[in-house]
């Protein structure tokens, strides 16, 4: 009997010690199997997956490498739609679905009902909070479904905070969602403040006002942008002097260094910071203040902070994929990520947060550079293309009014004219599409009718179909040949916006509470982020979700 009692006591003591080990916590340690107190969503604007691997040896141990080694690295993550634009990426990542469901077609698109070109977050029902400009006439009203932030609020009876931060308005507003407590974005030009919309608040919080008053942006713009390391070590990039990059106004070359105090007056004053790596640093400064002053991760509820690093997009557009400027921007972003992670470890607790990092799109190599390497690429003269499309319609149907609008590689037909001429809409769509495919530089065409009556489950057309919204989209979609972009970039730089691999293949890293260590080369669409996080948080999926849980990621 004594032996049984002694054994029982030992077992109870062991259980008690284990329980104490698991559940006795300080402010900076987590209860095992508990939900994270803070979720951080990071979207790097215009980051190709290969930026992780190409620049790997230049990264510190505490930034990208920490996320890759101590988190879960999904090496084959892709945007699963063809409209690879900033707004679409942010909306898809945080809604768990594609444009055919969430309704964000591009950054701006033609509205068939109002006959106007509209902005993805534009809303003149609201005013700017924090400046006298119109940069705050914004809201998330064009997203047709809920975001993970909305679902997190609903699951916690509207408790917890959801805040979006970014240089671009769309990078802050769309991730934060409809029920967000706040979203903040940068108002450049002669203002240089973070602002918001009356959709969220009547005045900026005191801490935001203080941040703006301190004008840290002036500190950054008083610097010279030179390479972080000796430029001779940037062997992963092309030569600094080349014909593939755009020039800043007031600078005769496209080479380092960049004297920002001298350049700012001719390059948008406070807007110039967006086109340097310091725009990301300023964004992080603001995000850190948000975490501290909004007490994120410090209550019994889970909070969500979305951060969009946009300067990489501005730099990528101006200098191109293989430039030393892009490489330096990512080396410096790596340092900012290290700073963020160390801050989160201290402020929130190393195991109290869950973080993911991905991108809204990639980018093509500069076509001129590819052509110099004997790789097929071209520039598309958009004015000539528009004229050709209108000429097709006039030749086929003897009407100058049949084409109503052309944008985002989409043709909108004038339905009143179709009816007036007693034409069959399906026939008009198909005949124009069949003729347009013969144009030099056009690789594929497809009609709205085809997209409505067929289901493409794989391949390029499935990406186009995921970008097509029956209620909002146009009548004919056309695609350029691979590595072909607008002639706007004839003088240098590059862009994105198609379903080719260089635009769809992006990094996807999970890290922190509830996340395994590991990596996978299995294909994962970007819309799988939300259901995976929702499972970790044990909340309902977004109401338009079409993604799946990445089970291998979850601890």
Q: Name the active-site residue from 25, 29, 84, 86.
A: 86
Greatest extent of the chain over all pairs of C-alpha atoms, in Å: 104
Confidence of residue 4 (pLDDT cuts 50, 70, 90): very low
Domains 38-371+501-553 and 378-481 share a fold: no
- Beta bridge partners of residue 358, listed in sequence order: 43, 508
Q: Report how far residue 257's alpha carbon sits from residue 454's, in angstroms, rounded to the nearest whole number.
A: 53
Flag whether pLDDT at 7 surpasses 60.
no
Flag whether pLDDT at 539 surpasses 50.
yes
pLDDT digits (tens, 9 = 90+) for 35-54: 999 999 999 999 999 999 99
- The gap between the terminal CA atoms of the chain, to the nearest Å, is 42
Query: Which residue, 76, 97, 175, 95, is CA-closest to 466?
Result: 97
Confidence of residue 20 (pLDDT cuts 50, 70, 90): very low
Whether residue 84 contacts residue 496, with contact meaning beta carbons closer than 8 Å, is answered with yes
Flag whether pLDDT at 17 surpasses 90.
no
Flag whether pLDDT at 318 surpasses 80.
yes
Tokens of 56: 């790997």
Confidence of residue 24 (pLDDT cuts 50, 70, 90): very low
- Beta bridge partners of residue 483, listed in sequence order: none
Flag whether pLDDT at 352 surpasses 60.
yes
323 HSE (CA, 13 A, CB side): 31
**φ, ψ for residue 225 (rounded to 5)?**
-85, 105
| Cβ neighbours of 29 (radius 10 Å) | 12
What number is the average pLDDT over the span 121-144?
Answer: 98
pLDDT digits (tens, 9 = 90+) for 152-209: 999 999 999 999 999 999 999 999 999 999 999 999 999 999 999 999 999 999 999 9
- Report the pLDDT value the prediction gives residue 95, as an integer from 0 to 100: 98
73 three-state secondary structure: strand
Question: What 8-state DSSP symbol labels residue 533?
Answer: H
H-helix or E-strand containing 356? Answer: strand 353-359
Q: Report how far residue 180's alpha carbon sits from residue 173's, in angstroms, rounded to the nearest whole number.
A: 9
Residues 6 or more apart whose CB falls under 8 angstroms from that of 440 comprise: none
CATH architecture for segment(s) 38-371+501-553: 3-Layer(aba) Sandwich (3.40)
Q: Report how far residue 48's alpha carbon sits from residue 506's, in angstroms, rounded to the nearest whole number.
A: 5
- Report the pLDDT value the prediction gives residue 154, as an integer from 0 to 100: 98
Question: What is the bridge-based pairing of β-strands 518-520 and 77-78?
Answer: unpaired
Residues 6 or more apart whose CB falls under 8 angstroms from that of 488 comprise: 382, 495
Question: What 8-state DSSP symbol labels residue 361?
Answer: -
User: What average pLDDT does the structure give for the chain?
Assistant: 94
- Report the pLDDT value the prediction gives residue 18, as an integer from 0 to 100: 42
Query: Is 283 among the residues known to form the active site?
Result: no
- Report the pLDDT value the prediction gives residue 34, as an integer from 0 to 100: 85
What number is the average pLDDT over the span 549-555?
Answer: 97
Evaluated on CA atoms 478, 525, 274, 118, the torsion sign reads: positive
Helix/strand/coil percentages in the chain, nearest 5: 40, 20, 40
Q: Report how far residue 183's alpha carbon sits from residue 63's, in angstroms, rounded to the nearest whole number.
A: 25
- Report the pLDDT value the prediction gives residue 19, as an integer from 0 to 100: 40
Flag whether pLDDT at 75 surpasses 60.
yes
Tokens of 530: 């939300």
Cα separation values, 474 from 113, 391, 444, Å = 11, 19, 16
- Beta bridge partners of residue 346, listed in sequence order: none
- Report the pLDDT value the prediction gives residue 500, as an integer from 0 to 100: 98
Flag whether pLDDT at 5 surpasses 70.
no
Task: Provide the residue ranges of all domains of the chain, joining segments of one domain with +.
Answer: 38-371+501-553, 378-481
User: pTM for the complete prediction?
Assistant: 0.93
Flag whether pLDDT at 26 surpasses 80.
no
Flag whether pLDDT at 505 surpasses 90.
yes
**φ, ψ for residue 342 (rounded to 5)?**
-65, -40
Tokens of 199: 């959709």
pLDDT digits (tens, 9 = 90+) for 225-284: 999 999 999 999 999 999 999 999 999 999 999 999 999 999 999 999 999 999 999 999
Question: What is the bridge-based pairing of β-strands 476-480 and 442-447?
Answer: antiparallel
Question: What 8-state DSSP symbol labels residue 183?
Answer: E
- 311-332 core/surface letters (b: 16 or more CB in 10 A; e: else): bbbbbbbbbbbbbbbbbbbbbb
Confidence of residue 346 (pLDDT cuts 50, 70, 90): very high
What number is the average pLDDT over the span 491-497?
Answer: 97
**Ordered DSSP codes for 178-213:** TT-SEEEEEETTTT-EEEEETTT-SS--HHHHHHHH
**φ, ψ for residue 496 (rounded to 5)?**
-155, -175
Confidence of residue 15 (pLDDT cuts 50, 70, 90): very low
- Beta bridge partners of residue 25, listed in sequence order: none
Confidence of residue 9 (pLDDT cuts 50, 70, 90): very low
The tokens 């970008």 sit on which residue? 467
Flag whether pLDDT at 30 surpasses 70.
no
- 3-state SS, 390-438, equals HHHHHHHHCCCCCEEEEECCEEEECHHHHHHCCCCHHHHHHHHHHHHCC
CATH number for the region 378-481 comes to: 3.30.1360.150
Flag whether pLDDT at 347 surpasses 80.
yes
């Amino acid at each position: 009997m004594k032996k049984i009692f002694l054994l029982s006591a030992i077992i109870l003591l062991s259980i008690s010690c284990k329980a104490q080990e698991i559940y006795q916590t300080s402010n900076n340690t987590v209860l095992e199997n508990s939900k994270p107190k803070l979720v951080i969503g990071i979207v790097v604007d215009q980051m190709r997956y290969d930026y992780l691997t190409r620049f790997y040896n230049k990264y510190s141990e505490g930034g990208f490498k920490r996320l890759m080694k101590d988190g879960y690295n999904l090496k084959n993550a892709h945007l699963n739609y063809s409209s690879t634009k900033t707004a679409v990426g942010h909306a898809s990542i945080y809604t768990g679905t594609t444009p055919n469901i969430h309704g964000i077609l591009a950054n701006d698109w033609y509205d068939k009902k109002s006959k106007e070109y509209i902005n993805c977050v534009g809303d003149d029902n609201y005013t700017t909070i924090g400046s006298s400009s119109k940069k705050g006439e914004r809201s998330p009203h064009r997203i047709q479904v809920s975001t993970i932030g909305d679902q997190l609020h609903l699951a916690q009876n509207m408790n917890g905070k959801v805040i979006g931060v970014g240089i671009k308005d769309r990078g802050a507003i769309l991730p934060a969602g409809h029920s967000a407590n706040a979203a903040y974005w940068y108002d450049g030009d002669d203002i240089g403040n973070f602002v918001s919309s009356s959709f969220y608040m009547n005045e900026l919080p005191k801490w935001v006002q203080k941040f703006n008053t301190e004008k840290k942006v002036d500190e950054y713009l008083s610097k010279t942008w030179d390479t972080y390391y000796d430029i001779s070590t940037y062997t992963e990039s092309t030569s600094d002097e080349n014909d593939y990059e755009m020039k800043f106004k007031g600078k005769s070359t496209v080479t380092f260094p960049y004297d920002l105090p001298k350049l700012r007056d001719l390059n948008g004053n406070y807007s110039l910071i967006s086109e340097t790596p310091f725009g990301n640093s300023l964004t992080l400064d603001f995000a850190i203040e948000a975490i501290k002053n909004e007490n994120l991760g410090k209550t019994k509820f889970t909070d969500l902070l979305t951060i969009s690093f946009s300067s990489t997009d501005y730099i990528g557009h101006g200098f191109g994929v293989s430039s030393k400027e892009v490489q330096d921007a990512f080396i410096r972003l790596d340092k900012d990520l290290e700073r963020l992670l160390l801050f989160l470890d201290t402020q929130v607790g190393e195991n109290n947060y869950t973080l993911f990092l991905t991108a809204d799109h990639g980018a093509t190599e500069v076509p001129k550079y590819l052509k110099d390497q004997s790789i097929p690429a071209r520039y598309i003269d958009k004015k000539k293309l528009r004229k050709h499309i209108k000429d097709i319609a006039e030749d086929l149907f003897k009407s100058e009014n049949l084409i109503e609008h052309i944008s985002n590689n989409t043709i909108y037909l004038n339905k009143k004219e179709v009816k007036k001429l007693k034409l069959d809409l399906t026939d008009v769509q198909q005949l124009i599409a069949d003729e347009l495919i013969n144009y030099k530089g056009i690789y594929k065409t497809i009609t709205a009718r085809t997209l409505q009556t067929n289901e493409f489950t794989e391949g390029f057309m499935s990406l186009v179909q995921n970008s097509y919204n029956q209620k909002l989209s146009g009548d004919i979609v056309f695609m350029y040949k691979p590595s072909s972009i607008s002639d706007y970039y004839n003088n240098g730089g590059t862009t994105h916006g198609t379903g080719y691999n260089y635009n769809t293949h992006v990094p996807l890293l999970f890290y922190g509470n509830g996340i395994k260590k590991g990596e996978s080369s299995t294909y994962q669409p970007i819309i799988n982020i939300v259901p995976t996080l929702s499972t970790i948080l044990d909340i309902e999926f977004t109401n338009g979700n079409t993604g799946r849980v990445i089970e291998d990621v979850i601890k």
